Chains A and B, each alone.
Chain A
Amino acid sequence: MLRIDQHLVDEMIAHARADHPDEACGVIAGPEGSDEPRRFIKMVNAERSPTFYRFDSAEQLAVWREMDRRDEEPVVIYHSHTATEAYPSRTDISYAGEPDAHYVLLSTRDPETTEIRSFRIVDGTVTEEEIEIRS
């Protein structure tokens, strides 16, 4: 299960809506081993594409080093799908390289409501999990 504060969910949705129709992506860092998403980090989608996303490699290095310095890890890795459902694609699964992260997918295909779902992706296996949003 992913337990996450409402304001962090709001930030992800705002980012996904702002970048629509391109895919948006980012990280929420938290203390190592805590499973607590705390620090919201909006990332650049280096692909600037409605169908792909990729963290800019230089930005990623800077962000991962900063997490290392703070004894944090990427608790949530999120990205948006802008024309399809919030479910990991084959490409998402093949790239999923953080076995301890919650992979959050947002879909902005409906202009009124943003679908948001969370998954674990380990060794190519996708497991959906509940999201408990705390206010």
Chain B
Amino acid sequence: MSVTVSIPTILRTHTGGAKRVEGSGETLAALIDDLESSNPGLKERLVADGKLHRFVNIYVNDEDVRFSGGLDTAITDGDEVTILPAVAGGC
């Protein structure tokens, strides 16, 4: 099984400039481990202390994984995974 993962500009240094990469895994955590093997350095930009980094949003299809189980979110064949930088700040 395989899913397509969209990579934001800021993380493309880890994918050789690619906008989209392929990966596999039963859960988001497993998918990220699989991506790390072919895109070294990506994982530490996504995960900190075993949790999703607050600077990124990860979506499985249309669902922000923060609301659907975080790194334990199930992935099935053909899912579309999108990574975006969280846009936030304050004075």
Contact = CB atoms under 8 A, between A and B. Distances in A.
Nearest to B66: A57
Contacts of B4: none
Interface in A70-118: 73, 77, 79, 81-84, 88-89, 91-92, 94-100
B91 A54 contact: no
A99 B88 contact: no
How many chain A residues sit at the interface, stated as a range, is 35 or more
A61 interface: yes
Contact of A97 (B6, B64, B86, B91): B86
Contacts of B88: 47, 52-55, 91, 95
Interface residues of B, number: 20
Contacts of B64: 57-58, 61
A95 B87 contact: yes
Nearest to B80: A65
Contacts of A77: 87
Interface string B25-58: 0000000000000000000000000000001110
The winner among A52, A92, A97 for most chain B CB atoms within 10 A is A97
20 contacts: A23-B91, A52-B89, A53-B88, A57-B59, A57-B64, A57-B66, A60-B84, A65-B82, A73-B9, A79-B89, A81-B91, A82-B91, A89-B91, A91-B88, A95-B88, A97-B10, A97-B56, A98-B8, A98-B9, A98-B85
Closest 9 CB pairs of A and B: A97-B85, A52-B90, A92-B89, A54-B88, A55-B87, A84-B91, A57-B64, A81-B91, A95-B88
Given A52-B90, A58-B62, A83-B91, 12 more contacts: A47-B90, A49-B90, A52-B88, A52-B89, A54-B86, A55-B87, A57-B57, A57-B66, A64-B84, A95-B87, A98-B9, A98-B10
